[in-house]
Amino acid sequence: MEVFVVEDDEICKLHFIRLLEKKLKIPSIISFSNGLEAVEHVNNLLKDDAINNVSLIFLDLNMPVMDGWEFLDVITARSWNIPVCIVTSSIDPYDISKAKEYSNVIDYITKPATEDKIKDVLNKL
């Protein structure tokens, strides 16, 4: 299982990665600071035919360069069927509703992410 964490806030990212590694024993985690970095990495995986190794993407919405919505638009347009869990501080009903429009978004959780919330997401895979 390979998991991507797309998060621009370094403290949130470190907390999240530690939670995945130490508490949930996720063996392979790759992190990115914005959606563009993640898209470029997925493009490289496609070249190497390694895209099937990606099990889940934890995605923040508000990031520089390419935000979470732009990232979702790209992977949807390219038919990358990778499950995504949005992890954000946004409790805006518009964002929650919009997330449901993307078929690969399997959950929407608000920060801070907890072990129980992440376990619930992993059980959906």
Tens of pLDDT, residue by residue, the chain (125 residues): 789 999 999 999 999 999 999 888 988 999 999 999 999 988 887 776 666 677 899 999 999 999 999 999 999 998 888 999 999 999 999 999 999 999 999 999 999 889 999 999 999 98
Tokens 């929407």, residue located: 108
Reading the block at residue 110, the tokens are 């608000």
Q: What are phi and psi of 106, to 5 degrees?
A: -95, -15
CA atoms of 18 and 75, how far apart (whole Å) = 26
The number of folded domains in the chain is 1
Write out the residue range of the structural domain in which residue 59 sits. Answer: 2-122
User: Which CATH number belongs to the domain containing residue 46 in this structure?
Assistant: 3.40.50.2300
